[in-house]
Amino acid sequence: MKLIAYKTFDYNVQKLVPAPRTREWMDQTPGAFAYHCLPLVMANSLGWYLLNDVPCEMEWDGTEPASGLKIWPTEELTENEKYFLPSSHFGSGVVTFHVEYMFWTERPISIITKGPANRPKHGIAPLEGVIETDWLPYPFTVNWKMTTKNLRVRFERNEPIAQIVPWPMDALDAFEPEIRSLQENPELYHAYEDYRKKRTVFNKKFEHDGRKRQKYYVRGENSLGDKAEVHRTDWRVKPFVTDLAPMTDSNESSI
């Protein structure tokens, strides 16, 4: 399947790279123990990072008008870089980053834009969006919401400002959600009870050592030793291939 990022501006600094498995705060946990949580690591590397190309700082006074948010560069910028300096477009402490690319996907794939997974940032939180990129003929924006007033927040050059995740939107409408008693499924109930009992014994044995793990999920098996038919421990996300021709016109992001 194709995922195309069309450049809308003759300016080649904003980068798209595969999202990495690692996080600095996870590296700093004792023995890098946070990496034992496979779901966390899988979320880290889901999709691609959009990297900031304009180092800047911002501060919000807590008011609703757009004028309540001040944004300024932390380095001298070229004219092209000034164009991509984030702005206070919506007010309410929302910081808007303009995306250099217009994304295109095959139907029925859309794109979820979200903050970099498991990468908290003090004083500001990423806002998420769903974009129908199978038809949209113009770029979207990436937005963050300031959460603390009178606090300076800094975005460095090449710091991720978004994580791009393609998603089959039609799949959601096909689900028929239900709530049932687990005992209605004897096989699944038996596997759950076996895990629960073994987990209770395990937790009791290692109640003073929170770094011990049974690793059932990492191995892709239940406590009975039954292996999952399909179990992933990483993503094989390909880097974007570049084949660019010079641009003559530019468009502004408008979502």
- Hunting for tokens 């239900």 — which residue is that? 178
DSSP 171-210: HHHH-------GGGSHHHHHHHHHHHHHHHHHHHHTTT-T
Per-residue pLDDT, averaged over 84-95, amounts to 94
Tokens linked to 234: 């990483």
**42-82 pLDDT, tens digit each:** 999 999 999 999 999 999 999 999 999 999 999 998 888 88
Per-residue pLDDT, averaged over 72-93, amounts to 91
**220-255 pLDDT, tens digit each:** 787 778 888 888 888 889 999 886 655 554 444 444
In which band, very low, low, confident or very high, does the pLDDT at 210 lie, cut at 50, 70 and 90?
Answer: low
pLDDT at 1: 87
Closest CA to 160 of 41, 48, 56, 67: 48
pTM equals 0.86
- Per-residue pLDDT for 112 more than 80? yes
